[in-house]
Amino acid sequence: MVDNRFQQIDKKTWHKYSFYFNIIMFIIIGICIFFTIIDSYQAGKLANSLSGGDVISNAWIKVMRDVAFLAIALAIVFFQLFRNQWLIMKRSW
């Protein structure tokens, strides 16, 4: 049933949806980079000013969370890039 729904979408509409999805992904990547910079800066300030391991580890957990979101978003973008390149190469054979 789901396959039928995807087959009914024409190429023009599919490319439009793909374009909007890519714009949203680049916005998410920008937000992730911004939060990674902010959280890394705050974790560095805490590491220099405090010696308490619990506060520092919570700050670094936030940094790891940001890096995880960034890695997932970049993986999706690169997957789409390589898939599209493969389709273009396949058509030219």
Domain-embedded: residue 85: yes
Range of the domain at 69: 11-92
Longest dimension (CA), the chain: 62
Domain-embedded: residue 67: yes
Domain-embedded: residue 3: no
SS3 51: coil
Per-residue pLDDT tens for 14-68? 778 888 888 998 999 999 999 999 999 988 888 778 766 666 788 889 899 999 9
Per-residue pLDDT tens for 66-91? 999 999 999 998 898 888 888 888 88
Domain-embedded: residue 44: yes
